Amino acid sequence: MRKLLIIITMFLTFLVGYGKNSEINVRKGAKLPSFELMDFNRTKIKSHKILNNGNPTLLVFVAEWCPYCQHELPEIQRFYEENKDSVNVAVVFISKNTTLSDSKKFIDENGFTFPVYYDLDRSLMNAFKIKSVPYNLKIQNSVIQDIQNGVVTYDKLSELFSSGK
């Protein structure tokens, strides 16, 4: 019985210590650990497939109900269309105060074609310590190069990604 109790305790410790995304050190120069993204079809993809392909990455956290995000997303679309061969774009819709179907409907109604993901269980929002959206990160080889809170324009994105491409 005692052995069983020890095994169960070790298993629970493993789950808590090595479970889903824990906190991520979100600062310039920090290396991101591997994490999972889930697309709108509920297919999961490992972050390293996007972040480590040699191109810089724009990782954006948004919500369809957010007026600032509604203003920024057309700018992201324009940037994506003009840079999709040289910059990875990953737009993550948070699940706070919304649903996956609401986010899908918003994307469809606006004709956005950039890659979209959904933070179903808020694990990414919690791991990245996101307090407000939109939240933009420039990442190169899993290292955070820049952090932008608030609305980012096409011109700002172009400037941000023209340096150090």
Which residues contact residue 73 at a Cβ distance below 8 angstroms, ignoring those fewer than 6 apart? 62, 91, 110, 112
Helix (H, G, I), strand (E, B) or coil at 139: strand
- Tell me the percentage of the chain whose pLDDT exceeds 90: 81
Is the pLDDT confidence value at 15 over 60?
no
- DSSP 8-state symbol, 37: E
Helix (H, G, I), strand (E, B) or coil at 135: strand
Record the pTM. 0.84
The model's pLDDT over 49-78, given as tens digits with 9 standing for 90+, comes to 999 899 999 999 999 999 999 999 999 999
The model's pLDDT over 115-150, given as tens digits with 9 standing for 90+, comes to 999 999 999 999 999 999 999 999 999 999 999 999
